[in-house]
Chain A
Amino acid sequence: MSLTEFKIKGLNQEKNLNIISKKFKIYELKRHSKNCSSFKVSFFKAKKVRKLLISFDYEILEEKNHGILPKIFKTFGNIYILSAIIFSLVIYFAQSPIIWRYELLGEQNLTQAEVVGFVKENFTKNKFALNTKAVEGAIYENFEEISFVSVIIRGQTLIINIKEKLLPDEIYGDFEPVVAEFDGKVTNINLISGTMNVKVDDYVEKGDVLVLPYFLDGNGEINPVKPSAEITFEVYGEGEVVHYDHSTEIRRTGNFYEKNEVQLFGLTIYANGEDNNFELFETEEEIVNLSSTLLPFKLKRTICYELEEVEVNETFEEAEEKILFKAREKALLNSANYGIINDEFYTVRHFDGGASVNYVIVYEKIISAS
């Protein structure tokens, strides 16, 4: 209880205390001397009692407050501050039962919007009225992807912890068809899901659609599905070499000049070697950083090889083995990532003054889309 203590000085105290006691309850009334006494009254009546004491011509020697309320009033004496605090407290207590935040943990394929949206739509935001067990049950019932769910309220946040089932990927998202990555002939098909767009013995080009990302059900409706198949192809790698019976070849004679230059910022500051005097030549250059120095010096080495034109007279029959080898090498080069070689053959086309060889390597390649 909060009380205010008065210490007063004056005459006829008994008479006036009787008057006061008729209106207000007096506590701990003590007489200190003939004209001096002290007593306590309720903190809320102190103002009126003070008025009375003054009207009795008493001298108030001391006025002291006891209890919590006077301290609160003293601290928050300003009515506006007190009002603001009370208003804040009212707002705080009014909004404290409301769930403001929703948090979803453990989602993989499901989204926050789906699960949280469902909870917001179907359950109250009042955390005291919300039955978390009911929320758990409803989520579990409505989302077949969920194998485990727990719901807790922490402060003003509803935390939904889920664990999703391992469902096949084809349930989710849009699907892309399987397309051919190279030209070839379809030799075998093992369809797992989807709809085939080609059949065995079809020739396909790179980019052609092989498996469509849907299947038609008994009612003729299209159902999206992730296409999956293992398709075997016969792929051809070709290489062509043209041979002329009479031709001119350019060869190195074996003579060369070598020139070394030391450069700094592209400018030659030292050169060593001979100048090139060949009529027909080819050059090779090599630039080396001289890293042992602080400045970016570079050493440029130029080698000039002398060339000569040589007339070659060789019939196809004489050079056949060499030409076939070259054509096969080319065919292999054109068969990047080739698989198992099933067959290889070549065709020779003769023309006046020469012949051309077309070498073909047939190999098996599998597209496995899943």
Chain B
Amino acid sequence: MFNFFEEIKSKTKNQNMLDTFQIINMSNKILYAEGHKGLVSLSKELISFKVKGGRIVVEGEEMFLLELTENTIKISGKIKKVESF
């Protein structure tokens, strides 16, 4: 079965550096992340979650979590900015 992230990894030389987390932003409406380490804050305007070696902060409007599992997160809303710290 085709896996988007596995496909990219297979075409990258240093694959070890890609084993932390993956994020995909779909038209600034849905943001999907794999490999998160826990939700840090949640509000309509800001959602942040921990990843290996840092934190991801998503800013936007009317945001909420479409799905939250142990290692995946799916954010929906009007996404304005995604920052990694």
Contacts and interface: CB of A to CB of B under 8 A. Distances in A.
Nearest to B42: A31
A14 to B, nearest CB: 5
B39 A25 contact: no
A26 B38 CA distance: 13
Given A13-B42, A14-B39, A31-B42, A22 B70 contact: yes
A18 interface: yes
Is chain B's interface secondary structure helix, strand, loop, or mixed overall?
Answer: strand
A21 B70 contact: yes
Which of A17, A28, A29, A37 neighbours the largest number of chain B CB atoms within 10 Å of its CB?
A29
Contacts, number: 44
A25 B43 contact: no
Contacts of B18: none
A143 interface: no
B67 A31 contact: no
Q: Indicate the size class of the contact surface on chain A.
A: 10 to 19
Given A31-B43, A31-B44, A17 B64 contact: no
A17 B69 contact: no
A29 B38 contact: no
B30 interface: no
A48 interface: no
A27 interface: yes
A13 B41 CA distance: 9
Contacts of A13: 42
Interface in A53-70: none
Interface string A22-53: 10011111110000010100000000000000
B24 interface: no
Contacts of A39: 65, 68
Contact of A37 (B42, B66, B69): B42
Given A21-B69, A21-B70, A29 B41 contact: no
A29 B64 contact: yes
Interface string A320-352: 000000000000000000000000000000000
Which of A13, A26, A31, A37 neighbours the largest number of chain B CB atoms within 10 Å of its CB?
A31
A25 B42 contact: no
Which of B44, B64, B66 neighbours the largest number of chain A CB atoms within 10 Å of its CB?
B64
Interface string A6-25: 00000001110110011001
A15 B65 CA distance: 15
A120 B65 CA distance: 64
Which of A18, A27, A39 neighbours the largest number of chain B CB atoms within 10 Å of its CB?
A18
Contacts of A28: 64-66
Contacts of B38: 14-15, 18
A17 B39 CA distance: 8
B69 A29 contact: no
A25 B41 contact: no
A21 B38 CA distance: 9
Nearest to A32: B44
Contacts of A37: 42
Contacts of A29: 42, 64-65, 68
B23 to A, nearest CB: 17
A17 B40 contact: no
Nearest to A23: B70
Contacts of B41: 14
Contacts of A26: 65, 67-69
B42 A27 contact: no
Nearest to B77: A30
18 contacts: A14-B40, A14-B41, A14-B42, A15-B38, A17-B39, A17-B68, A18-B39, A21-B70, A26-B69, A27-B67, A27-B68, A28-B65, A29-B42, A30-B65, A31-B42, A31-B43, A31-B64, A39-B68
Interface of B: 38-44, 64-70
Given A14-B41, A29-B64, 18 more contacts: A13-B42, A14-B38, A14-B39, A14-B40, A18-B39, A21-B39, A21-B68, A21-B69, A22-B70, A25-B67, A26-B68, A26-B69, A27-B66, A29-B68, A30-B44, A31-B43, A31-B44, A39-B65
